[in-house]
Each structure stands twice: as C-alpha cells, then as structure tokens.
Amino acid sequence: MIPLENFLILAGILFATGLYGVLARRSAILILMSVELMLAAVSINFIAFAAYLDGEAFSGLIFALFVITVAAAEVGLALGIVLRLFRERRTSYVDAADTLKW
Amino acid sequence: MVENDAFALLAVFLIPLGTAVLLMLVPSKERSLIIALTAASSLAMFAISLYVFLTYDFGGDQFQGVKAWDYMSNVGLLGDEGIQLKVGVDGIAAAMVLLTGIVIVPGTWVSWKIQNRMKDFFILLYILTAGVFGTFVMLDMFMWFLLYETALLPMYLLIAVWGSTRKEYGAMKLMMMLLAGSILIFTAIFAIYAEAGLGTFDMVDLYDVGFDEDFQKLYFPMVAVGCGILAAMFPFHSWSPDGHASAPTAVSMLHAGVLMKLGAFGIIRLGFQMMPEGGAFWAPALMLVGITAALYGAISALRQTDMKLMTGFSSVSHMGYVMLGLGTMNVIGWTGAVLQMFAHGVMTALFFLLIGAMYDQSHNRDIPNFSGMAKQMPIWTVFFVIAGLASLGLPGMSGFVAEVHIFIGTFRVYPVIGGLAVLTAAITATYLLRMFSQAFFGEFNPRWSELKEITIAERAGATVLAGTILFLGLWPSPWVDRISTTIAQTIPGVTL
Amino acid sequence: MEEVWILPAIPFVVFLVLGLLGRFLPRNGDGLAVLGMAAVVVLVGFVLADFQGSFVDDLFHPAAGANTYAFDWINIGDGFFIIEFSTYVDAVTMVMLPVVSFVALMVLVYSIGYMRGEQRYGWYFSALSLFVAAMLLLVVSGNLLQLYLAWEGVGLASYLLIGFYWERQSAAEAAKKAFITTRIGDVGLLIGIILLWRATGTFDIQDIIHAAESGGIGETYLTVAMIFLFAGAAGKSAQFPLHVWLPDAMEGPTPVSALIHAATMVVAGVYLVARMLPVYNEVLIARDIVLYTGLLTAFMAATMGLVATDIKRVLAFSTISQLGFMFVALGVGALTAAMFHLLTHAFFKSLLFLGSGSVIHATEQQEVGHLGGLRKKMPITAITFTIGSLALAGIPIFAGFWSKDEILHDLQKDGPLWAYGVLAATAGLTAIYTTRLVLLTFFGEPKDQHAYDHAHESPPIMTAPLAILATLATVSGLIAFKGVGETLGFVGGIGEFVVAHGEPHIFEIDWVFAGSATATAVAGIVIGFMYWGGDARRSIAARNWAPELHQLFARRYYMDELYQAFINNVVLGAARVVAWFDKRVVNETGVDGGTQLIGFLGHRLKFLQTGRIPNYALGMALGVAALAIVAIGTT
C-alpha cells in the first residue's frame, strides 16, 4: 500500500501551488483554476484519511463528494462573474475590478 | 386597583401601538381621518392613564394590577418564567403613566398642523409613545429593555426628518449618546440575569435575590450612567440641548417631558430597587453629580439666547434636582425627586409647546430678536409666564412642591449642598426673568406684527398642561400620598 | 376666629373672577374688588372684637393667640413630615390685619379714579386682589412654609404690578430687578426655614419658638438659621444691601406703590422678624445684625432721600429709611414700638403716596423740577400731603411722632448710645427731606407753566381716601395712650395690646425726651425752609457745598453700579466660562471629539480595503495560518 505520507505530500504540494496561484495570478481564470487545485488537495486528504483510518467510515468520502459538488457550483457562478467582468472591462484581470475599495 | 386592571395597563401601551398599525393602513391623503384617529387614541390613553393613577391604592400592595403572559420559557438557560409580558405598577410608575397620558394629548393636538408626511410622523410618534408607556408598566427586565429601546429609536427619524436647524447633527448626537447608554444598561441587565441564576427576567423575583455587595458596587454605576445619559446627567447631558433644539414640537415635548424621566425611572427600577447596597454606596456621588448639573445647567442657561437651547439647559438643571433627590436616600428627598420628574415633565412640555407655536410662524427663536411680544400674543405670554414661574419654583406651582421636598431631603444629609440647591432656584429666576423682560415686555418690535395668536388646539393643549401645573402646585397630596408610601414601604435602603 | 382663613379667600376669589371673567363684568369688575375688600374690612372688625373678647379673659397673656389647624397639605410617613395649612392670630396679627385690609380698601377706591381709562383696567384690580389675598394669607400664617408660599405670592403680585406698564422697558427692567433682588433674599429665607425644620422637625411657628426658648437648638446653629431668615426679611423690606429694588419699583402705578411698596408688602420683613422675635431674643448676635442693618439702612436711605428729585423716589427712600427704623426697634427687642411704627407709617406713607399720585395724575409730571406752587390748584391734596409730611417728620400730635419717639426711646434705653445718636440724626434728616419735598411740590413758583396750567384737583373718589387717611395719620398715634385705647374697647394703649417679654408697657410721656425729639424735627423743618423755602440760590449753594457728597447720595452710594458690575463681570462672566466649557470641552472635545476620533481611525483604516482579490485572499490565508498555529500550539 502506498504510504499515507505520499498522499499528504502530494496534497500539500497541490495546495501550496493553488495558494500561490490565488495570491500571485492576476487573471481571474487562473485564480479559479488555482482554487480548484486547492479544493482538489483537500479532497485528496479526505479520501486518503478515509481509506487509511477506518475502511468502514464513509464520512471522508462523502465530504469529498460535497467538495466536488460545491466546486462545480462555485465554478459555474464564478465563471458567470468572470464573463460579466470581461464584458464590462474587456479583460479578465481581477485588478481591473477594484471599484469596491475605500 | 384590582387584578383585572392589568388589562388597563396592557391597553395603555397597546393602544398607541395599535393606532400606529391602523395608521399604516390609512392613506396619507385622508388627513381628517388621521386626525380623528389620533384624537380618539390620545384621549383614550389619557383616560386610561388617569384611571391607572386614580385607582392605584396607596395602602395596598407595592405592585398592583400585576399579570404575566409567557413569552419564552424553558428554552436554553431560561426557566419556567423566562421572559414574560408582565405588567404592573407601583406609585412611582402610576405617576409616570399619568404624566405620559397628560403630555401625549397636547403633543398630538399640536402635531395636526404638520403638513409634511403627517401620517408617518404619527406612526413614529405613537410607536415611541407605546415604548414609553410600556417601559413604565413592564415588570420583566427583558421586555422593559425592549420597550425602552422602542421608545428611543423612532427619535432619530422624528428629529432628522421633521426637525429644524441642525437636525441631522442633533438627531445623530442624541442617538449615538443614548445608544451608548443602552450598551451599559444591556450589559448590566445580562449581568444581573446571570448573577441571579434564576433563569428569569422577572424583576419582582430578582428584587429578592440580594446580590453580592461587590457586584452591586460594580453594576450600580453602570445602570446609573447608562440610564443617566437619558436623564441628561452631567457630564452626559450634551445631547439634550442640541437634540431638543432641533426636534419638532411634539417630539421635544414628549422627549423632555417624558423620555428623560425614563432615565431616572430606570435608575430607580434597575438601580436602587435591584441593587440597594450599591445605590447606598454611590448615593453621595449621585448627589454631587446632581448639584453640579443643577448649577451647571442654570449657569449655562444664563448665556443662551435661543429659547429652546435655554429650555434645554434648564432641563439639565432640573433633572439635576432629580439626581440630587435620589441621592439623599430619604423619603422626603425621593418623593421630591419623583415629583420633580412629574412637575418638570409637564412644565417643560408647556415650554416646548409654546416655543414651537411661535417658531412655526416666526422661524426665529433668538431672544434678543424679540421685544414686547405680550402685545402681539397676550395669551401665549400668559401661558409662558405660568410655565416660567413653575420653572423657577414659585409656590402654588408644581415646581415648588417638588423642589421644596428635594431641598429639605438634601438638608437632612448635607446642608451645604442644600444651600447650593436653593441658590440654583434663584439663578433659574434670573435667566427666566431676563428672557421675560427682554422678549415679552418692553416696546413692541413691529417686525413681528404678522404673528398670530396661538391656535385653538394649542390653547387647549396649553390649558391642559397649565392646569396640571396649578393643580399639582395647589393640591399635591394625590401625588405625594401615592409616591411617598411606595417609597417608604418598598425602596430598600431609603429611610424616613 | 377659627374662620380667619376666609379673609384671604375673599380677595383670592375676586382675583379668579376678575382674572377669568373680568371682561364680561361691568367696568371690568372694579366694584366687585372694592366690595370684596370692604367685606374683608368688616370681617377684620369682627375678628378684632372676637380677639378682644379672648384678651380680656386672659389679660396680659402674650400667648393669647389662637392657632387653628385647617388641614394637612402634605403628610409623609404618617406624620413624620407634615406641611399643614394653619392660621394663627395674636396681637401682632391684629395690628397687621386692619392695616392691610384698610389701606387696601382705600387704595382700591382711589384706584377707581386714578386708573380710569387705563389699558388693562380689569387686570389691575385683579392683580391687586391677588396681592391682598397673598398678603392676608401671609399675616395669618401659622407656619413658616405657608408663610413662604404667601411671601412669594406677594412677590409675584408685586412683580406683575411693577411691570404693569410693561410697554416701557424701564418698567419691565424694574419688575425683573425687584423680583430677582427679593428672590436672593428669599434664598436665605428658605434656607433659614429649612434649617429651623431640621432642628425642630416642624414648620409651626409657635412650636419653633418653644423649641428655641427651651434651648433645644444649638446656639450657633440657631444664630446661623436666624441670620438666613433675616436675609429674606431684608430682601422683602428693602434693607441694605438688598434695598436697590425699591426705588426702581416706583415704575408701577402710584396706588400700587402706596399699597405694596409703602404700607404692606415691604413691611412683611418687619412682620416676619416681629413674629420670630422670641427666637431672635435667644440669639443676640442675630438680633444685633437686625439692629445695625436697620440703622445703616435708615441713615443711608435718608441721605439718598435728601437729593432725589423724583417725588415718588423721595418717598421710596423715605420708606426704606422708615423700615430701617422698625428694624432698629426690633433689634433692641422693642416689639411694641416696631409694630406701632408699622401701623402709623402705613397710614401716613400710603397717604403721601396717594397724594403724590394725585399730583402725578393732575400734572403728569413727577420730577420736582417741574412742579411747584400746586397748593393753589390742588388744595385738598396739598393739605393732606402736608399732614402726611408732618407725621413723617415727627411733629407732635401727628401719628409719626408717637411711634418714632417710642423707637428712639427704646433704642436709648437698650441700645448703644452712638446708635441712638445716628438714629436721632436720621430723624432730623427725615424732617429736612420731607420739608424739601413739600416746599418744592406745593409751594414757591410754578417751575413748569404747562404742567401748572394743566393741573386740577382730583375727583372726590380720589380725595376722599386722602382725607380719611389724613385723619388717621393725625390721630392714629394717640392709641399709644391707655385712655384712648380703652375708649375704643381695647385693653389699653398699644403697649398693653402688643406685648413683648410678657410685660405690658403703659405709655407715658417723657417730656424731656419728647421735647428733644420735637426740637430735632422742628430744626429739620427750619433747615428745610432755609434752603428750599423760596430762594433757589440757597438750594444750589447747598448742592455745591460738597458736590462729591451730593453725587454720592444722588448715585445711591454707587450700589446699583456695583451690582451691575458684579452681574456683568462675575455672574455673566461665570456663565460665559461655563458656556465656553460646555461648548468647547464637553461638547466639542468630549462628544464631537469622540466621534471625530472614530471618524479619523476609520479614515486611516479604510486603506486596508484595496478592492484587490489577491490582497483579500492573502489576508484569508494569513488568518488561516494564524488560526492553525494557535490550534497546534494549544494541543
């Protein structure tokens, strides 16, 4: 069996990559993709723990399913917003949408 | 007062609430219908409040007409009697209910000439009135606070929309300061609830708890300051002159006449009755604050030229007497304090009514601009002089009855402070008579020859208030009997 | 005698009726006012007879007063704190009642003529009735708080009537000054009353007197209380340093000055001290203060009267001075002399004021510089005025002589010699200024031909009261004699009627003393004739003899300026400081400052809100990291 650490390391790398993407990228699409990476990392953790800790308990798996559902919904909503943003500003860079500052 | 009179107490705050709801259904174009509705409602409130006052049996129980309806119980930390709609009055509350009933009647009458959104004005005014009545009759701490806030919040809109001069500033300042006070009260209420551990907000039950002395010493000033802000207690009085100066007539009347008394009433209900030892500990400080406010308000009023600002500072001074009376911790001083609450309410309502009646026409309140007004508006002047004489404590008027009790009560404790209090009455005479001789007497200033005598509604309202002033001044025992027996028998720590 | 409360009730009802319904009554109801007053006079006669009856049974007993309780006005703690309404009648009351009611009746009758055609005619009678009601209540009060109520009531009536011609700014100012000045005295009065209550637990005058006499109150405490009480008396009776309001009070209609500011209200202070005299006898320091205040006032006011040019103001200064005489008498414990002088003074001073009113009514002038020679045009006024002046100056037979003589006699007997000297000199000054006033008004050449031509004798409704009062000013002094008193049905002369220290005092003429007093008065009159009797150069010379002194008197010892400066600089200065403090420190620093601080912080902190999503995300990430560190650290 693949040791748990490997999954965790993979999830950690994915999460860090995602976080970096969210913080450093300007394009809304890329930020969304990074968010997806972070969610994927979380899902991997859930599944890995569920498999290793107790084969009978499904709560980790169910959580992973929820994450996927939420992620799908979120992307649908977010892409709608990005589309509006692009229509308004002719760009998908998020720093074009800073009217809500002080 | 029999048990079924609880329904009278319930009615007295459900009527204005119901009227407010009914008014929402009336189209704003139907002015005469609105007037008829408010006239009926105000008279009903007056009648019921008079009934409550007269039937209060001062030989009987402390709280009369007590009845409770469950609102929320056995939820979370709440026990069987958790939060109730519990009504009941003692002698002090009965007097305050009557005061509200007397002030709301002319307050309603003078508001009929409002042209701008009259319906909305009355809706807010009656919600406020319901809050005031409710606060006086509630015996449940939670409901008490709920209605206390109900009485405060409409104030902001009433001043900001219908006010005059610096109305946004006045409304905002008033609201901010009063809500700051509410934070303190709210904290204290939950501290009391938690400390008692009974799972109930019923004040009558809580009075018997006997809180720890350190707890009382800590939380009494919290209540006193929180409620004191509403009673314009020095140095938290700053909202009062500005708020009154910018409020519309009826709101000034209700606010200075009744709402400020809610503060003092809160100090009695939540402060002295709940935490008697804390009250006794802080009583000298209360006296000090009271005499400072009395002198400070009177001396400030000497310099004011705006009639409403002067009356506002005069209110600060008179409410200082109330604090002074409460601080004496003897029945005479306390009776004086409650009488002063009543007397000042009626008198100051009359002041604001008259100033408002004149301001509506002249759009000017600056005393130096007026001269010889007695020629143009003789009836107005007569009523104003009556209010002024009551304010300066002339015997035969309501102010004297209250003040003499406070003076004597103070003299029993600290004669020097009593002397200063008597001196304050002379300063009051000075600023009022300065205004009289400047504005009412002397050669008539023809600039005001357009002004008309006050309307019938205003005359009727002023007559009600002036009549009350003289009645209380000449025959005070209906008030004194009810108030003093309540105090002597039931306020812990207050002795003869 | 139990029903003595009816006396104030009658004019009070008249006040209400006239005040509310006056405009519907014929002639605004002046007849009703006079009728009510006449009824009071008759009833006072009954009370007097009743009182005499009880007196004969219990001869020479000072406590022959009757204390009748009407009802409890306020009762707290089942009798612990009671304010009751009660009436008390004794000899002092029995001097006051006839004086007040009779002079009031005379003044009301006179006013029908004097006030004819005035604006607010009905209001005048209404307010005057209010005054009489309060004054009668004052003199029958059995307890101090009720007395205070009536005391403020007469003050209110005085305020309303001084300000009767309120269209004149000076009248409005004078009314305000009178009310505030007396109010300052009243602060002392109320403090005194409460201090006495604090020591004895009662407001009842007789109970307080008993407590004081039995030594139940500490001496220092009692002294302080009685000094405070005297402050009220000094304010009402226009004694130094609170005398400044009375000359200005002459802005009111002249009959008002006669009734309120000469005969009745201003003697309320004398009445109060007389009423409390047994207590003052216990604390001699306080009594000495009464004595020296009275002495100083009597002298100062007489000098001011010497140079005043307004006919009513001369009389006002004279009133202040004569009130000083009464306080001097009380200051040496001479109750009889004080009440006797109060009685005679009420008659001759109201006569003088009504006479001056007749002059003013006829000429519409009240500066003596515009008068003169009026005796030909107004014979009745001239004769009655002269009679009043002789009584004031202290010429034998006339009323003032007997009572003033009593005061001087008692002062010489019980007071310091120098005080006697000062008061005797003041009596001389009185004769001088009185003579001056009469000469300048009624004798010599007319100084203002227009006013002189305009002048005419007043109608009978005004001269009749003058004649009656002139008679009384002549003969009322004779009640000092035992024989006269007995003829009238009294136990004896006034010395046996109004009894101090429980010992009746049978009046006897001390020929040497009376002679010297007469000589002083005559000398004063002669000096008056010398300077003002014809040759105007002499009076100018008198003025120029010592211009500084003249200036000092004419400017009333600069007291008014002093007070004005005090009010402007100290009182209003303090008000300015407090108002500044309130505006700047409390409001702008405390309240607005607090909101501004919050606003400022908000202004700074808002820059954290960049609007950039990566910034928010970074904040979130850092927050999660911080929470994680905390979570790990705690486990």
Query: pLDDT tens digits, residue range C307-333?
Result: 888 888 888 999 999 999 999 999 888
Q: Tell me, what's the pLDDT at C64? A: 46
Q: Tell me, what's the pLDDT at C527? A: 83
Residue C501 CB-density burial (10 A; 0-12 exposed, 13-18 middle, 19+ buried): middle
CB distance B480–C75 less than 8 Å?
Answer: yes
State yes or no: pLDDT of C63 exceeds 50.
no
The answer, for A89 touching chain C at a CB cutoff of 8 Å, is: no
State yes or no: pLDDT of C500 exceeds 70.
no
CB distance C621–A102 less than 8 Å?
Answer: no
Give the nearest partner residue to C606 out of A23, A25, A102, using CB atoms.
Answer: A102
- Give the E-state strand segments of C134-223 in sequence order: none
Q: Which of C145, C137, C152, C5 is nearest to C84 (CA)?
A: C145
State yes or no: pLDDT of A51 exceeds 90.
no
Give the nearest partner residue to C591 out of B177, B335, B484, using CB atoms.
Answer: B177
Confidence tier at C47 by pLDDT (50, 70, 90): confident
Confidence tier at C8 by pLDDT (50, 70, 90): confident
CB distance C166–B395 less than 8 Å?
Answer: no
CB distance A22–C617 less than 8 Å?
Answer: yes
Q: Tell me, what's the pLDDT at C501? A: 59
Q: Which residue in chain B is spatially nearest to C191 when comparing CA positions?
A: B419
Q: With contacts defined as CB-CB under 8 Å, which chain C residues touch B304? A: 579
Q: Tell me, what's the pLDDT at C58? A: 47
Alpha-carbon distance B365 to nearest alpha carbon in chain C (angstroms): 19
The answer, for B425 touching chain C at a CB cutoff of 8 Å, is: yes
Residues in contact with C309: Cβ distance below 8 Å, sequence separation at least 6, in sequence order: C367, C368, C369
Type of residue numbered C189: L
Q: With contacts defined as CB-CB under 8 Å, which chain A residues touch C611? A: 97-102
* pLDDT digits 0-9 by tens, C202-241: 888 888 888 888 887 888 899 999 999 999 999 999 898 8
The answer, for C611 touching chain A at a CB cutoff of 8 Å, is: yes
Q: With contacts defined as CB-CB under 8 Å, which chain C residues touch B480? A: 74-76
Q: Tell me, what's the pLDDT at B357? A: 87
Alpha-carbon distance C154 to nearest alpha carbon in chain B (angstroms): 11
Q: Tell me, what's the pLDDT at B136? A: 92
pLDDT average, residue stretch C271-283:
89
Residue A70 CB-density burial (10 A; 0-12 exposed, 13-18 middle, 19+ buried): exposed
Q: With contacts defined as CB-CB under 8 Å, which chain C residues touch B484? A: 76-77
The answer, for C621 touching chain A at a CB cutoff of 8 Å, is: yes
Structure tokens at B409: 């009560």
Structure tokens at C534: 């014809």
Which range (C59-73, C219-233, C267-281, C525-539) has the least confidence? C59-73
Q: With contacts defined as CB-CB under 8 Å, which chain C residues touch A31? A: 613-614, 617
| Residue with more model confidence, C363 or B320 | B320
Question: A with B: 3 or more CB pairs under 8 Å?
Answer: no
Task: Give, rounded to a whole angstrom, the gap between the first and last alpha carbons of chain B.
Answer: 26
CB atoms within 10 A of CB C53: 10
Residues in contact with B456: Cβ distance below 8 Å, sequence separation at least 6, in sequence order: none
Asked whether the beta carbons of B237 and B293 are under 8 A apart, the reply is yes
CB distance C609–A99 less than 8 Å?
Answer: no
Q: How many Å is the maximal CA-CA distance in chain B? A: 72
Q: Tell me, what's the pLDDT at B83? A: 87
Asked whether the beta carbons of B427 and B295 are under 8 A apart, the reply is yes
Global ipTM: 0.91
Asked whether the beta carbons of B155 and B128 are under 8 A apart, the reply is yes
Give dist(CA B89, CA C373) in Å, integer.
Answer: 77
Asked whether the beta carbons of B100 and B133 are under 8 A apart, the reply is yes
Residue % of chain C over a pLDDT of 70: 94
pLDDT average, residue stretch B233-261:
87
Q: How far is CA B404 from CA B332, B398, B410, C84, C290, in A?
A: 9, 10, 10, 14, 27
pLDDT average, residue stretch B159-177:
86
Q: Tell me, what's the pLDDT at C67? A: 58
- Beta pairing partners, B85: B69
Angle at B62 between CA B58 and CA B63, to 5 degrees: 110
Q: With contacts defined as CB-CB under 8 Å, which chain B residues touch C173? A: 437
Q: Which residue in chain C is spatially nearest to A99 when comparing CA positions?
A: C611
Model pTM score: 0.87
CB distance A101–C614 less than 8 Å?
Answer: no
Which range (B204-218, C143-157, C443-457, C500-514) has the least confidence? C500-514
The helix/strand/coil state of C447 is coil
Give dist(CA C86, CA C140) in Å, integer.
Answer: 8
Q: Which of B431, B434, B350, B354 is nearest to B398 (CA)?
A: B350
- A contact chains, 3+ CB pairs < 8 A: C
Q: How far is CA C627 from CA A15, A40, C212, in A?
A: 17, 22, 81
State yes or no: pLDDT of A74 exceeds 70.
yes
| Residue with more model confidence, C591 or C293 | C293
Give buried/exposed letters for B233-243 (b at 16+ CB in 10 A, else e): bbebbbbbbbb
Which range (C73-87, C303-317, C412-426) has the least confidence? C73-87
Q: Which of B117, B97, B112 is nearest to B26 (CA)?
A: B117
Q: Are strands B83-89 and B64-72 parallel, antiparallel or unpaired?
A: antiparallel
**Average pLDDT for chain C:** 84
Length of chain A: 102
* Token pair 């400390």 in the structure block, residue: B195
Q: Which of C182, C196, C254, C245 is nearest to C225 (CA)?
A: C196
Q: Which of B403, B250, B200 is nearest to B317 (CA)?
A: B403
Angle at B335 between CA B333 and CA B341, to 5 degrees: 105
Question: C with A: 3 or more CB pairs under 8 Å?
Answer: yes
Give dist(CA B322, CA B302) in Å, integer.
Answer: 21
Structure tokens at B291: 């005499």
Q: How far is CA B36 from CA B42, B119, B381, C139, in A?
A: 10, 12, 30, 52
Alpha-carbon distance C583 to nearest alpha carbon in chain A (angstroms): 33
Q: Tell me, what's the pLDDT at C60? A: 40
Confidence tier at C537 by pLDDT (50, 70, 90): low
**Torsion angle of the four alpha carbons B291, B292, B295, B296, in this order, in degrees rounded to the nearest 10:** -150
Q: Please name the residues between 378 and 417 in chain B that touch chain C, using a CB distance below 8 Å.
A: 389, 392, 394-396, 400-401, 404, 407-408, 411-412, 415
State yes or no: pLDDT of A95 exceeds 50.
yes
The answer, for A101 touching chain C at a CB cutoff of 8 Å, is: yes
